[in-house]
């Protein structure tokens, strides 16, 4: 993942904004995901309130380790393999990206939102590419994300 210090700062500042109500942020994310990719709903058997907090906690862990790729590597590998076991397919990564961007756009304060969304997009693309390569080692290309 190739992030500038400005990207890392924007991601951390935006996560701090979201942290004032992590439950709401997670709920907005999953509401968006299920609206635009209803087939993903059956992958979640747990209480969605708890799942929303789990998502936001995982994002917080990733955000805290953006400058430490060595510490982030086992986290990303574990996420990739767990998501594979849940039935996540390659196309779901683009759907999750779209839901994440939508959530950020709705919840982040202006004018930092555009910069933060761009930085989150670069971070997500890098992490998703690594996760896909781990989960689908036969894959040769890059993640087709806009």
Q: For the chain, what is the domain count? A: 1
pLDDT, greater one: 112 or 50: 50
Could you check whether the bond before residue 111 is cis, i.e. omega within 30 degrees of 0? yes
Listed residue (139, 140, 131, 133) closest to 80, CA to CA: 131
- In angstroms, rounded to a whole number, what is the distance separating the alpha carbons of residues 45 and 64? 28
Domain containing 116 equals 5-135
The verdict on residue 44 lying in a domain is yes
The verdict on residue 102 lying in a domain is yes
Distances from the Cα of 30 to the Cαs of 34, 120, 127, 143, in angstroms? 6, 17, 19, 22
pTM greater than the 0.75 cutoff: yes
What integer is the mean pLDDT of 60-77?
A: 91
Per-residue confidence (pLDDT) for residue 105, from 0 to 100: 95
When the pLDDT of each residue in the chain is averaged and rounded to a whole number, the result is: 91
The verdict on residue 144 lying in a domain is no
The verdict on residue 108 lying in a domain is yes
What integer is the mean pLDDT of 88-101?
A: 95
Distances from the Cα of 58 to the Cαs of 61, 140, 144, in angstroms? 5, 27, 24
- In angstroms, rounded to a whole number, what is the distance separating the alpha carbons of residues 51 and 86? 14
The verdict on residue 37 lying in a domain is yes
The verdict on residue 85 lying in a domain is yes
Per-residue confidence (pLDDT) for residue 71, from 0 to 100: 86
Categorize the per-residue pLDDT at 137 as very low, low, confident or very high, splitting at 50, 70 and 90. Answer: confident
Region at 87 (left for phi over 0; alpha for psi -120 to 50; beta for the rest) = left
Categorize the per-residue pLDDT at 102 as very low, low, confident or very high, splitting at 50, 70 and 90. Answer: very high
Categorize the per-residue pLDDT at 139 as very low, low, confident or very high, splitting at 50, 70 and 90. Answer: low
Domain containing residue 124: CATH number: 1.10.490.10
Categorize the per-residue pLDDT at 98 as very low, low, confident or very high, splitting at 50, 70 and 90. Answer: very high
Give percent above pLDDT 70 in the chain: 95
The verdict on residue 145 lying in a domain is no
The verdict on residue 50 lying in a domain is yes
Per-residue confidence (pLDDT) for residue 146, from 0 to 100: 43
């Amino acid at each position: 993942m190739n992030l500038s210090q400005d990207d890392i700062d924007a991601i951390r500042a935006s996560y701090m904004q979201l942290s004032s109500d992590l439950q709401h942020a997670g709920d907005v994310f999953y509401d968006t995901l299920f609206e635009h990719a209803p087939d993903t709903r059956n992958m979640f058997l747990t209480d969605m309130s708890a799942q929303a907090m789990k998502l936001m906690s995982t994002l917080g862990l990733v955000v805290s380790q953006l400058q430490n790729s060595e510490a982030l590597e086992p986290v990303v590998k574990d996420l990739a393999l767990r998501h594979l076991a849940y039935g996540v397919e390659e196309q779901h990564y683009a759907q999750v990206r779209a839901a994440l961007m939508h959530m950020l756009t709705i919840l982040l304060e202006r004018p930092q939102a555009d910069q933060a969304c761009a930085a989150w997009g670069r971070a997500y693309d890098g992490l998703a590419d690594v996760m896909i390569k781990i989960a689908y080692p036969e894959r040769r290309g890059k993640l087709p994300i806009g």
